Amino acid sequence: MSLALALILAANLSPVRAELVEAPLLEPRANGGSIGERPFDKLRANGSGESVRTREGGEFRARPPEDEIIYFVLPDRFDNADPSNDRGGLKGGPLQTGFDPTRKGFYHGGDLKGLIRRLDYIQALGATALWVGPIFKNKAVQGAPGQESAGYHGYWITDFTTVDPHLGTDADFRALVDAAHARGMKVYMDIIVNHTADVIQIRECAGRSECVYRSRADYPYQRRGGVTGQPINPGFAGDGVHTADNFATLTDPSYAYTPVVPAAEKGIKVPAWLNDVTLYHNRGDTTYRNESSTMGDFVGLDDLMTENPRVVAGMIDIFGGWIDRYGIDGFRIDTAKHVNPEFWRVFIPAMEARAKAKGIANFHMFGEVSEHDIRPAALAEWTRTADLPAVLDFAFKEAVAATVAGTQGTVLFEHLFDGDAIYAKGADTARILPTFTGNHDDGRIATSIRKAFPAAPEAEILDRVRLSNAMLLTLRGVPTIYSGDEQGFAGDGGDQDAREDMFASKVASYNDNRLVGSTRTTATENFGSDGALFRQIAELSRIRRAEPALRRGTTVIRYRQDTPGLLAISRIDPATGREVLLTFNTSTTQVTRQVQVEVASARFAALAGACASTATAPGSVTVTLPPLGYSICASDSK
């Protein structure tokens, strides 16, 4: 079979055998516009006269978190609608402005106006919520000589109160939120409380590539430079006593190292209280383990002393202000596990109260607790000890990677979903966990698949990516699509290697990668709606929005095995009892099995793929799937 023919066949959105009942496919419109129905197709005015899109008879804010489909973007890498802001108003070359579209670690020019003009594209994909990477003003460039990179990603903040000029203005952000809300789309901000940009320097570590972490036992707050040093900070009872009176006695920051702020950067941080070096740990670089996990600097980034009530109050004021000013709908919380849990137990209810006062229902907050383990215990812990309402579901990502971008058995999903019980509110919490198959830090699922199966033909790579999308859009949780995945982006790895431009890129290491399911590359803009993966995600999104069982249903595992092969899961609508049977084949051979279903599920309609039209016997249905195929079969039981 020729590669071209293989791609044509693989692009067919029906993944199962023709002799079964096949679901109809939605074709792109003739004008190349939106695919299928619009996610929100009614307009009405609310009490203030504002036009809002409505769906299922309610305003967009009435939708609970599990009803969303999230689209995640780094604004700098999405679309450049205003080249005048590419250098952020700074003068000089890349090391001064941070702008160099040929280098993957520098600003490329994307901005908030670019996001606004592409909302049609995002909504056509089926997204109902937009997660926007950090937009706060960043330190343009940092790093040792020869190792510099820029703050294009948004995580090196100097001013927490305003938009980075590389991305636009505060007015641009307001326009983005208003435009999204007018379409019935929510906007989630990516926020950081763990650290700021690298401004504070450590005198003892000058000229070194790393600054070794110094623990509280070896370098207590009450001694300068170690246990035998000069007494300092009399009366300080330790960072476990979270009172303003206690922290008022912590006046000398030289317990572990000597923090120094360069003259050129004194007062650079906003709000002004962030320039007080006593509000940082100043203990050296984190090892990402044990005590240093919450007290060490991320490769030099200034680690805030979030135990101090001054920092707690300051962060509540900062991010509460963004809610007050812009009426955003939620927060993705960066590096949540690197902040002491006590902070979150104060911050979370404060943000919920601010949102409630603003009239924002279902304000959704989810923390980044990065764990590369299928067992969800480490994730669930933070919903209990820190009261995080939800966390990004890294365990889900690992299960998909191990089975679709790997060769482990589908039994892993049983282990994954058995763990739902240990979240703070059990299945209710698990249902609102944002699920994903790849991101800007860990890399894309297509990258993992190509690395795991280097000899596989492109048709198989496409099938595996499509299978991962089917899992993401139908299993429990809130599906989160990383921009570019719908175009088949397949970077070289994680971090900078997974942050390709959606507009025409000038980065050679991006442009030499062929897209999955396409002959295109990132050298040209990629906002088309006719590609195999875009069409598939749009169709799955439509199905998910139409089926309450896929958004809110309970999860019942019907079939799994210790080797690659069949995974069968029923999602059952608790309100009506309607069963939607999901089947996935992670093997490269056809499978046929009898699968248990509810006795009342006598007839089935194919929503995607092919399904047996009737049960073989009460409580049992025949499932046939081709290699790497899937199907979505809805029963008529109600």
368 catalytic residue (yes or no): yes
- 573 contact partners, CB below 8 Å, separation of at least 6: 547, 548, 549, 552, 553, 579, 580
Integer CA distances (angstroms), 625 to 19, 309, 541, 566, 604, in order: 11, 57, 22, 8, 16
C-alpha to C-alpha distances, 544 to 438, 529, 540, 547, 549, nearest whole angstrom? 20, 19, 6, 5, 8
| Helix 458-474 with 3-11: angle, nearest 10 deg | 10
Cα 425 to its chain centre, rounded Å, is 21
Amino acid identity, position 144: A
Cα 616 from Cα 354, distance rounded (Å): 54
Q: Compute the Cα dihedral for 325, 328, 334, 337 and give only its sign.
A: positive
Angle between helix axes 458-474 and 445-452 (nearest 10 degrees) is 140
Catalytic residue among 159, 172, 307, 368: 368
Coil, helix or strand for 314? helix
Beta-carbon count within 10 A of 619 CB: 15
Query: What's the CA gap between 466 and 472, in Å, rounded?
Result: 10
Query: Among residues 190, 303, 307, 334, which one is catalytic?
Result: 334
User: How far is it, in rounded angstroms, from Cα 545 to Cα 127?
Assistant: 10
Burial label, 166 (beta-carbon count in 10 A; 0-12, 13-18, 19+): buried
214 vs 526: CA distance, rounded Å: 47
Q: E-strand spans in 203-256?
A: none
Angle value at C-alpha 73, between 314 and 517, nearest 5 degrees = 160
Residues 616/622, Cβ–Cβ less than 8 Å: yes
The full DSSP string for 216-228 is: TTTS-TTBSSSTT
Query: Cα(395)–Cα(419) distance, rounded to whole angstroms?
Result: 10
Check if the beta carbon of residue 585 is closer than 8 Å to that of residue 626: yes
- The structure tokens listed for 315 are 């962060």
**CB 567, CB 586: distance < 8 Å:** yes
Q: How far apart are CA 279 and CA 286, in angstroms?
A: 17
Q: How far is CA 211 from CA 199, 203, 256, in A?
A: 14, 10, 11
Q: Are strands 330-333 and 259-260 parallel, antiparallel or unpaired?
A: unpaired
CA distance 348 to 402: 33
Active site residues: 334, 368
